[in-house]
Structure formats: structure tokens, C-alpha cells
Amino acid sequence: AHPALRQAAWLRGPEHGEAASVRWLRPDGAELQAADWNDPRERALAILLHPPGLRPHTVEHIAKPAAAAPARSVLLLVNPAAAACRFRLPAGGWSPVFDSARADGGPAPPAPGHESHPVEPVLSARTVLVLLESAQHHQES
């Protein structure tokens, strides 16, 4: 299993600053606020998980990992609604690894004429998309 999905300690949210291991984001990419959790109209969210050793400075930037923790961050996009939902991904590169909208669970290939996946993917109703921080962005961080 991916290290970000197997945390040895309880997840630490944004209130822990640089020690945060998880960020909860709205589909527009902003961090969820208290009112967002209770808004029945907005049920979709993104969950940004950092493996042990990676400590983000902000949602937009991921700090250099410790030498013993080469794992990349994981981004889970969750759309439980009955309608499609557009998400804005955090800065950096992300590669899809699982798409519950596809029968085989594999990620959809990039659109014809494009080399990469969209920065603002649209999730079908009641689906989950799992993305990994791209290796190139991980090495540059």
C-alpha cells in the first residue's frame, strides 16, 4: 500500500501548519472551512494526503521529503453527488492511478491531442479519482 494511505499516527490537519499530513479541499481547490462541512449542497471534496516525511508548507507547495521517505503525496477526489463535478487540482503535476467511473478502475488516457490529464478534471456522479503527485514534480519540490 502507498505510504500516504498507511499513516502510523492519526492524521494531522491544517491547524498543525507544516506538520499537517492531510488537507481537505473544496472542488475549487480552496481549503474546506467549517461552514463547508455543513453545506448540504456541496458534498464533493478532495483529500490531499502526505506520507510520513513529507510536510507541505501550503496547499500549493510540497516541501522536499526526508531522504528516508521518497513516497509521493496522494490526492483523492470524491464526488458523491448525483451530478458531475469539476475539480481544480493543487499546483504541481498529478497522475491518475484509479478511476471508479471506469469498469477496470484504471485511469482514462489523456484526451486525444493532449499529452497529460486536465488540471480541472470533471468527475462523473458518484465516483472517486485517485491521483499521485507526478514523479517530475516530486523531484523538483
Q: Alpha helices, DSSP H only, in 73-130?
A: none
- Model confidence at 64, pLDDT cuts 50, 70, 90, reads very low
Is the confidence at residue 72, as pLDDT, over 50? yes
Q: With H, G, I as helix, E, B as strand and everything else as coil, classify residue 138.
A: helix
Reported as a single tens digit per residue, the pLDDT across 73-87 is 889 999 999 999 999
Q: Does domain 3-140 have CATH number 3.40.190.10?
A: no
Residue 13 — pLDDT band, cuts 50, 70, 90?
A: low
Between CA 114 and CA 7 the distance in angstroms is 35
Report d(CA 33, CA 1) in Å as an integer.
30
Residues 6+ apart with CB under 8 A from 10: none
Helix, strand, or coil here: 87? coil
Counting Cα atoms < 13 Å in the Cβ hemisphere of 63 gives: 18
What's the distance, CA 49 to chain centroid?
7
Helix and strand numbers (H, E) in the chain are: 2, 7
Report CA torsion sign: 116, 89, 54, 78: negative
What are the structural domain ranges in the chain?
A: 3-140
pTM: 0.75
> What's the rounded Cα separation, in Å, for the pair 62 and 5?
17
Write out pLDDT tens, residues 36-56.
989 888 889 999 987 766 554
Residue scoring higher pLDDT (138 or 114): 114
Higher-pLDDT residue of 102 and 19 is: 102
